[in-house]
């Protein structure tokens, strides 16, 4: 008898347990109308992922328990697999429960608890040890949760894109317990290239164990994390049989009849620039909407970073929810004003200009005695940035919109940003993009439709805080800077290793020194979308007070 399965790739809101339950019940009603046998939801779909220290609250766990009971009371005539936290005695588990005919007939506890980069599961959960296999329509269905299929090589595969070809312990246990089909519930966050690594990991386990695998992944933005969906199914030989959408909530139906897997869902994989761009759009959209902001504010400078930020925001929220403010000074080039106005007009966003020179002059007049005899330096440059930050935050206070900061990873790495100035805001859209990545995505965005003026892309980058200023007056070329940042931050390569790759010792030592001495700035920066294997956020936890500078004493 064929087994019809609905893979529910849904966007769950952390802490909004009642709404998550209502969403799942709505899916159940539609699935029953479509004669579906089994509905699969993502990891911790009941409470959203990651709930972080909400898991330490007894009242939160009680709400989840009551919601699970309410869900079970309303599920009959169909089978549901739902993810949730489960307290048993003094132990808390990351669980998946199988509900049939108003009862929980099986419950699985996640065995491999990731505790690296953005994951902290060992802080909250105890590892399970027992496999779970249940029977449905003559098929023995086994259940695993996310890291279980990555096994002992999970950390290396997730961060270095290296898949270790050995059987994962939890998968082997499930197969040995008689499973004919493996269902894996996931909350696997996006970073560039992660979709291909996931496929390789799951295909390897399917092939090693000769078992079909249904991989159901979460979708949606949660603070700095973005879950890209991309759920898929592979057969016992590791061949892909079905592929769901990326970056959108979707429902993929799969039919399994003996050794045959059929599905109409055959979505393509995404190119790298498109995937990163869609991650930014989804990250902004969900951060704004899940937190209830009416819209966003952007300080538009006529430069590449604010231009890309506005493009992402407009694609995420629509032009009516985006306001751009140009705040020119005496150092702002006429082309910057022209390009900012042109782009805003082209996108149809609200646009205004506020001159900051009168305010700058007032500050300088007030500080004239204090600064007497001292030359113009970064103090006056930062003052301009802080005036702009104050203006944007005042508009935010008055109208309730969220300020999007425009700094990129290259700037955040080296401290080329002003505390309480251009770092002032609520969400940092480009925080995990190097400057070169910003240019690549800007070019990509223009392939969708003409959006960012070509002059913005072609002109040399400048903060325009002093006459004739260019970024590369203070920093190495972005080609060199970005490469060193990637080696040191994302791949943990040491100073000597990076120098051995052909970079000048003085460049490497300077950039690594800047990375460490600017930790205090990053600690005060807003969250932003993570799109690389390591961003400045949950997976970067360096001390502020530290004398380490990446050099080994000989």
Kindly report the three-state secondary structure assignment for every residue of 384-421.
Answer: HHHHHHHHHHHHHHHHCCEEEECCCHHHHHHCCCCCCC
Q: Of 539, 536, 542, nearest to 155 (Cα)?
A: 539
- How is residue 148 written in tokens? 């279980």
- How is residue 43 written in tokens? 């990891």
Q: Whole-angstrom Cα distance, residue 215 to residue 118?
A: 21
Q: Of 339, 348, 274, nearest to 307 (Cα)?
A: 339
Q: Whole-angstrom Cα distance, residue 441 to residue 435?
A: 10
Q: Domain segments of the chain: what residues? A: 3-262, 275-474+518-523
- How is residue 272 written in tokens? 């790298």
User: Which one is the CATH code of 275-474+518-523: 3.40.50.620, 3.40.50.150, 3.40.190.10, 3.40.50.12140?
Assistant: 3.40.50.620
pLDDT digits (tens, 9 = 90+) for 152-207: 766 666 666 666 778 999 999 999 999 999 999 999 999 999 999 999 999 999 99
- Res 503 pLDDT > 90: yes
Q: Whole-angstrom Cα distance, residue 438 to residue 56?
A: 39
- Res 12 pLDDT > 60: yes
pLDDT attached to residue 554: 47
DSSP string across 69-128:
HHHHHT--SSEEEEEEEEEETTEEEEEEEEEETTEEEEEEE------STT--HHHH-PPP
Q: Are 98 and 105 in contact, with CB atoms under 8 Å apart? A: yes
43 assigned to active site: yes
Q: Phi/psi of residue 155, each to 5°?
A: -60, -45
Q: Of 217, 159, 209, 199, nearest to 43 (Cα)?
A: 217
Q: Phi/psi of residue 271, each to 5°?
A: -65, 160
pLDDT attached to residue 470: 67
pLDDT attached to residue 475: 78
Q: How confident is the model at residue 330 (pLDDT cuts 50, 70, 90)?
A: confident
Q: Residue 448: which residues within 8 A CB-CB, separation 6 or more?
A: none
Helix (H) / strand (E) element for 185: namely strand 181-186
Q: Of 324, 497, 306, 294, nearest to 407 (Cα)?
A: 306
Q: Whole-angstrom Cα distance, residue 383 to residue 85?
A: 48
pLDDT digits (tens, 9 = 90+) for 418-477: 999 999 999 999 999 999 999 999 999 999 999 999 999 988 777 666 676 566 667 789
Which one from 12, 47, 64, 146 is the annotated catalytic residue?
146
Q: Whole-angstrom Cα distance, residue 411 to residue 431?
A: 9
Q: Whole-angstrom Cα distance, residue 283 to residue 110?
A: 27
User: Maximum distance among all alpha carbons in the chain?
Assistant: 89
Question: Do 3-262 and 275-474+518-523 share a fold?
Answer: no
Q: Of 163, 166, 168, 160, nearest to 110 (Cα)?
A: 168
H runs (alpha helix) in 210-333: 272-290, 304-317
Q: How confident is the model at residue 551 (pLDDT cuts 50, 70, 90)?
A: confident
Q: What is the mean pLDDT of residues 528-554?
A: 86
Instruction: For residue 266, give the DSSP letter.
Output: B
More confident residue, 154 or 343: 343
Angle between helices 304-317 and 435-448 (to 10 degrees): 50
CA atoms within 13 A on the CB side of 501: 14
Which residue has 């989804």 as its token pair?
282
Q: What is the mean pLDDT of residues 301-318?
A: 96
Which residue has 């190119």 as its token pair?
271
Q: Residue 418: which residues within 8 A CB-CB, separation 6 or more?
A: 381, 382, 385, 386, 389
- How is residue 138 written in tokens? 């003559």
Q: Phi/psi of residue 136, each to 5°?
A: -150, 120
Which one from 23, 110, 409, 538 is the annotated catalytic residue?
110
Mean of per-residue pLDDT scores for the chain: 93
Q: Whole-angstrom Cα distance, residue 392 to residue 23?
A: 37
pLDDT digits (tens, 9 = 90+) for 35-70: 999 999 999 999 999 999 999 999 999 999 999 999
- Total-model pTM: 0.94
Q: Of 211, 238, 216, 270, nearest to 38 (Cα)?
A: 216
- How is residue 288 written in tokens? 């704004």
Q: What is the mean pLDDT of residues 285-301?
A: 97
Which residue has 């990873």 as its token pair?
409
Q: Are 48 and 20 in contact, with CB atoms under 8 Å apart? A: yes
Which one from 43, 381, 464, 519 is the annotated catalytic residue?
43
Q: State the CB neighbour count (10 A cutoff) for residue 394.
A: 10
146 assigned to active site: yes
CATH architecture group of domain 3-262: 4-Layer Sandwich (3.60)
- Residue-wise burial string across 112-131, b where 16 or more C-beta atoms lie within 10 A, e elsewhere: bbbeebbbbbeebbbbbeeb
65 assigned to active site: no
Q: Which of 154-168, 289-303, 516-530 has the lowest mean pLDDT?
A: 154-168
Helix (H, G, I), strand (E, B) or coil at 138: coil
Pairing outcome for strands 38-40 and 139-145? unpaired
Q: Which residues pair with 352 in a beta bridge?
A: 325
């Amino acid at each position: 008898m064929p087994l019809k399965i609905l893979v529910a790739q849904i966007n769950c809101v952390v802490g909004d347990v009642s709404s998550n339950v209502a969403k799942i019940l709505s899916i159940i009603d539609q699935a029953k109308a479509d004669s579906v046998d089994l509905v699969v939801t993502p990891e911790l779909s009941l409470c959203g992922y990651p709930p972080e220290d909400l898991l330490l609250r007894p009242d939160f766990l009680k709400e989840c328990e009551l919601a699970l009971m309410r869900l079970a009371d309303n599920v009959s005539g169909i089978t549901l697999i739902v993810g949730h936290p489960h307290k048993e005695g003094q132990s808390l588990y990351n669980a998946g429960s199988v509900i049939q005919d108003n009862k929980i007939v099986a419950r699985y506890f996640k065995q491999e608890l990731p505790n690296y980069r953005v994951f902290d599961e060992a802080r909250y959960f105890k590892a399970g040890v027992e496999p779970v296999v249940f029977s449905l329509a003559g098929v023995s269905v086994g259940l695993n949760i996310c890291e279980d299929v990555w096994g002992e090589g999970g950390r290396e595969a997730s961060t270095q894109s290296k898949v270790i070809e050995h059987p994962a312990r939890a998968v082997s246990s499930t197969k040995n317990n008689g499973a004919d089909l493996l269902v894996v519930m996931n909350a696997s966050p996006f970073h560039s290239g992660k979709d291909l690594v996931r496929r390789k990991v799951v295909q390897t386990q399917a092939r090693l164990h000769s078992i079909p695998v249904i991989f159901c992944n979460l979708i949606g933005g949660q603070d700095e994390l973005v879950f890209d969906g991309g759920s898929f199914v592979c057969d016992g030989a590791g061949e892909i049989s079905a592929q769901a959408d990326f970056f959108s909530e979707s429902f993929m139906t799969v039919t399994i009849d003996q050794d045959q897997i059929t599905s109409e869902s055959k979505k393509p994989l995404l190119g790298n620039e498109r995937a990163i761009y869609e991650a930014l759009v989804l990250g902004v959209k969900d951060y704004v909407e899940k937190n209830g902001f009416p819209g966003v504010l952007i300080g538009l400078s006529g430069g590449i970073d604010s231009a890309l930020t506005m493009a992402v925001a407009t694609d995420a929220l629509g032009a009516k929810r985006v306001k751009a403010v140009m705040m020119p000074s005496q150092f702002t080039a006429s082309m910057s004003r022209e390009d900012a106005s042109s782009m805003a007009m082209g996108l149809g966003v609200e646009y205004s200009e506020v001159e900051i020179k009168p305010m700058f002059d007032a500050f300088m007049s007030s500080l004239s005695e204090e600064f007497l005899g001292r030359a113009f330096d970064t103090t006056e440059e930062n003052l301009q940035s802080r005036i702009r930050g104050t203006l944007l935050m005042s508009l935010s206070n008055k109208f309730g919109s969220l300020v999007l900061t425009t700094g990129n990873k290259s700037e955040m790495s080296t401290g080329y940003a002003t505390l309480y100035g251009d770092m002032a805001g609520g969400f940092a859209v480009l925080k995990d993009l190097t400057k070169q990545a910003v240019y690549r995505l800007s070019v990509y965005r223009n392939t969708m439709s003409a959006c960012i003026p070509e002059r913005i892309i072609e002109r040399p980058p400048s903060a325009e805080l002093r006459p004739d200023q260019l970024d590369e007056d203070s920093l190495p070329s972005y080609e060199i800077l970005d490469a060193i940042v990637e080696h040191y931050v994302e791949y943990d390569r040491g100073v000597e290793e990076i120098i051995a790759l052909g970079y000048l010792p003085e460049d490497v030592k300077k950039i690594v020194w800047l990375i460490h001495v600017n930790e205090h700035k990053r600690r005060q920066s807003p969250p932003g979308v993570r799109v690389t294997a390591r961003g400045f956020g949950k997976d970067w936890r360096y001390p502020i007070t530290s004398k380490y500078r990446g050099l080994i004493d000989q």
